[in-house]
Every structure is written in structure tokens, then in C-alpha cells.
Amino acid sequence: MYDINTHYKFIAARFLLEFNTAYLAKLFGVPLSKINRMESNTCNIPAVYSYALNNLISHEENYKGIYKSLENDDLENFCKKINKASKISRLSCSKCHSRKLHVMKMKENIYFIECMKCKKTMYSNKDSAMRYYSWQNKGVYLSHYLYSKKEI
């Protein structure tokens, strides 16, 4: 159990889980404004949200990597650089929705994906494929480069 008691830990955990704020609000059954207030550091983070996020993390295939990233990466710096409103999607098989995939890089921004469950193959140029590939090869880590570029 990792104590998610600051806004930057909250944001980091959400990005490692690859969830949008709207999705998280729906999942927790709270208004989106509540999530936004916690992430903009205008209210404290009640312990129940820390428990809920830990519960979500514990169901992830790569939960060990997520915890390692939360312990080691520069979360504060990540939060300064990331656009909190950026849309995030999670890579999954387009046929069976499995997250057990093998991703290979074909060339810059083109990834070849094989589902280990149903053997479907796909190509993708999305951030989610790039992130999966990076985490598959380097272990889970946080960097704003793994997500949509901040709009200037």
C-alpha cells in the first residue's frame, strides 16, 4: 500500500493506470470537479481515494512496476510537465480486449501488436502502443514523453 496523499502522487497514479479524469470520476462515483480539485491541490486527498487507487493498481498486471515508479520517479516534475486534461487510452486487443500483448516497433511511431490470448495482430501509431512498448522493454516509468504532447 502506497500512501497517495499529495496531488502529484494522485496524478502520477492516474497516469500510470492510464485513466482519464472523467473515467476515474465515473469509477469512483464522484463529480469530475472533485477529481480536478484534488489534482489541482485545492483540497486534501481523503484516505479513501488512496485506498481506491491502490485497489485499482493491485489489479494491474504490472502493479509491481507501477509501485516502483511511484517510489522512484520524480512525480512532482512529471506533474509540472504533463497536461492533466490530456486524453489517455489503454492499449488492448481490438478483438478480445485482452491486455496480454506483445508489442514490436516496426519503425518510428508504428507498432506491431500481437494478442497473446487470441493471437490477433494489429498495427498502431497511438501513444498507448508507444507506452506499452516502452514499459514492456524498460519497465514501468513515468515521463511526459510517454503521453500526448502538451499543447503550446
Could you tell me which of 80, 91, 69 has the C-alpha nearest to residue 150? 80
Position 120 contacts Zn ion (CB under 5 A): yes
Binding flags for Zn ion, 93-112, as an x/- string (CB under 5 A):
x-xx-x--------------
Position 22 contacts Zn ion (CB under 5 A): no
Position 85 contacts Zn ion (CB under 5 A): no
Position 115 contacts Zn ion (CB under 5 A): yes
Position 27 contacts Zn ion (CB under 5 A): no
Residue 28 or 112: which CB sits closer to Zn ion? 112
User: Smallest distance, Å, CB 131 to Zn ion?
Assistant: 19
Footprint of Zn ion on this chain (CB under 5 A)? 93, 95-96, 98, 115, 117-118, 120
